[in-house]
Amino acid sequence: MTQPALFIAHGSPTLAIEQNAYTSFLKQLGQETLKPPKAALIFSAHWDDSTQWLTTDRTHLTLHDFYGFPEEMYSIEYPVSGHPELSQEIEAIFHAHNLPYRLSAGRGLDHGAWVVLRSLFPEGNIPAVALSVDSKRSPEEQYAIGKMLSELRQKDVLIIGSGGLVHNLRMLGEEGSEPAPWAVEFDAWISEQLTGWNLRQLFDYDKKAPHVRTAVPSYGKEHFVPLLYAMGAADDDRRAAKLFQGYQYGSLSLNCWMFGGMHQANHE
């Protein structure tokens, strides 16, 4: 079975305890829209490193890598299984493409990974392999790494990029405030490039997208780049569909994009 690739905004860590339109959407996406994959491969914005890492754990620890949130957040556990055989497949792919990498055992899943996986698969029945991103690589390189892994989608592996297209914590407004026009304009520009699979424009987003310095500040690029890894993983099936768009705190963009494999999803 061919699985799609997804970009999923993980918003605030409190997504793990919230009940709103976005959490309902994610639950439906995982339980009804998608066909259950053999495994999930997830690139998280919260694992940003110049080295390409991938996990080899048989069972993942749950990292509570956030501060100042409700106490119940720190008691949530999501001890999902790893998939060592998939990790070995990824190793072989990286080796064949001469991409240096390192193996991680015991790190645990950061909240960019487990909050998303738990939202999709609350029973923890889909094994997962986590991979790092490198926000300092060029967009072309980030896309190329995702492209290396595209063959795994034909082997029933769901590939996810977890981040946030507009993620500037210094520009957050009040809860329930209207979406900021600059955030909406940036998302609309990105949407246009994705639906047209316009890589030339997209790879130059940091110069051409409106309000890009505000939407993707220099200290927050790691939240944008999982989009490019996920998109690259569907280079063999260049179709993009926006499944959800919303905002929290005026500018924290909550969006979900599906790339490729859409003929396998129940929403069509």
CATH number where 192 lies: 3.40.830.10
Do residues 39 and 129 lie in contact, with contact meaning Cβ atoms separated by under 8 Å?
yes
DSSP states of 32-101 as a string?
IISPPPSEEEEEEEEEE-SSEEEE--SB--B-----S--GGGGG-----B--HHHHHHHHHHHHHTT--E
Task: Give the number of domains in the chain.
Answer: 1
CA atoms of 213 and 209, how far apart (whole Å): 9
Q: Which residues contact 141 (CB under 8 A, 6 or more apart)?
A: 134
| Dihedral of alpha carbons 163, 165, 171, 177, sign | negative
Q: How many C-beta neighbours within 10 Å does residue 23 have?
A: 16
Q: In the chain, what is the greatest distance between 2 CA atoms, to the nearest angstrom? A: 49
Tell me the whole-structure pTM to 2 decimals. Answer: 0.95
Would you state the structure tokens that stand for residue 77, as one six-digit string? 């556990």
Are the CB atoms for 158 and 116 separated by under 8 Å?
Answer: no
**CA atoms of 151 and 41, how far apart (whole Å):** 12
Q: Is 233 within 8 Å of 147 (Cβ atoms)?
A: yes
Q: What's the domain range around 38? A: 5-264
The token pair at 186 is 């940036």
- Cβ neighbourhood burial of 106 (10 Å; 0-12, 13-18, 19+): exposed
Give which of 143, 58, 50 is closest to 102, Cα–Cα: 50
Query: What is the pLDDT tens value at each position of the chain, 268 positions in all?
Result: 899 999 999 988 888 999 999 999 999 999 999 999 999 999 999 999 999 999 999 999 999 998 888 899 999 999 999 999 999 999 999 999 999 999 999 999 999 999 999 999 999 999 999 999 999 999 999 999 999 999 999 999 999 999 999 998 878 877 778 999 999 999 999 999 999 999 999 999 999 999 999 999 988 899 999 999 999 999 999 999 999 999 999 899 999 999 997 544 444 3
